[in-house]
Amino acid sequence: MTPGRPVVLGLSCGLLPPDPIRPLFKGKPLAYGEGNLSDALAGSGALPMLLPKLADLDRLAELIDVVDALVLSGGTDVSPEVYGEVALRPEWSGDPERDRYERHLIAAALAAGKPILGVCRGAQILNAALGGGLYQDIATQVEGALRHRDWDSYDDNSHTVTIDADSFLAGVYGPGALRINSVHHQAIRSLAPGFRAVATAPDGIIEALERIDDAQFLLGVQWHPEWLPSLDDPRTEPRREPLPELVTEGDTHTRSRAPGAPLFAAFIAAVAKRRDFK
């Protein structure tokens, strides 16, 4: 590898199955990327590349070979089958095809010792694929939970998290309180072996996990940093303390949320360091 060349990040795609009544690409399967994630990573200095799902899933390892790290994108629910449950409601049955595709990507990245960043669903599939469990639905399974998803406010919905000292995330944002967006109805219930929770919401929901050692660099955040504006965006203010411990309903102050760019920049720097060290 050439030190100094841009970090190449492979992004997992969302999948749209063949739909005979869809006007665009009628009846054809689609693999898509969410534009803000690509732009946020490119804006932080990396070269993002979408990794399409291939009929031969074993060939995904060849795609992983040409990128420096894997980014698991946000999107649909993880199928409860991945963590040994059946769907409690049909609408929580998730996307088994995407699970299979991303599990191949995860296995290939692990085998190659390449870092993984999971965003929202990405944090969930990373945990579930490696042996952890999820809540199928926070609102019905966690008593007293905050509102972690709201259709109307969408990525303006926010709450605080407490970041563990001595974590990679604390190196980015400092330990203690941070306000992030929240657009999820599933969450990590039990951690996969080797992972630790490094950010927790006031209701106890795990909002970030890490497994970082000499061999692996695995990081997942339950929020969408790509939807949090950067420091030079007039909507953003740097983190201030103290933040309120509990968020009341309707408390969606965009101006007090953390910017996402420092997290991407720190991840990209960590990827470059590991790549160039090998």
Q: Which residues bind Mn ion (CB under 5 A)?
A: 148, 182
Closest contact distance (angstroms) between CB of 151 and Mn ion is 15
List of residues 6+ apart from 59 with CB closer than 8 A: none
Q: Which is nearer to Mn ion, 12 or 124 (CB)?
A: 124
Closest contact distance (angstroms) between CB of 158 and Mn ion is 8
List of residues 6+ apart from 102 with CB closer than 8 A: 12, 72, 122, 125, 129
Closest contact distance (angstroms) between CB of 190 and Mn ion is 17
Closest contact distance (angstroms) between CB of 188 and Mn ion is 11
List of residues 6+ apart from 269 with CB closer than 8 A: none
> Contact at 8 Å (CB) between 181 and 158?
yes
Where does the chain have alpha helices with state H? Answer: 35-43, 60-65, 96-112, 121-129, 138-141, 168-173, 261-277
Residue 24 per-residue DSSP state: T
Task: State the residue number with the nearest CB to Mn ion.
Answer: 182
Q: Which is nearer to Mn ion, 129 or 247 (CB)?
A: 247
Q: Which is nearer to Mn ion, 9 or 120 (CB)?
A: 120
> Contact at 8 Å (CB) between 128 and 81?
no
Q: Which is nearer to Mn ion, 108 or 145 (CB)?
A: 145
Examine the residue annotation and report whether 13 is marked as an active-site residue of this protein.
no
Query: Annotated catalytic residue: which of 34, 120, 148, 159?
Result: 120
Which of the residues are catalytic? 120, 224, 226
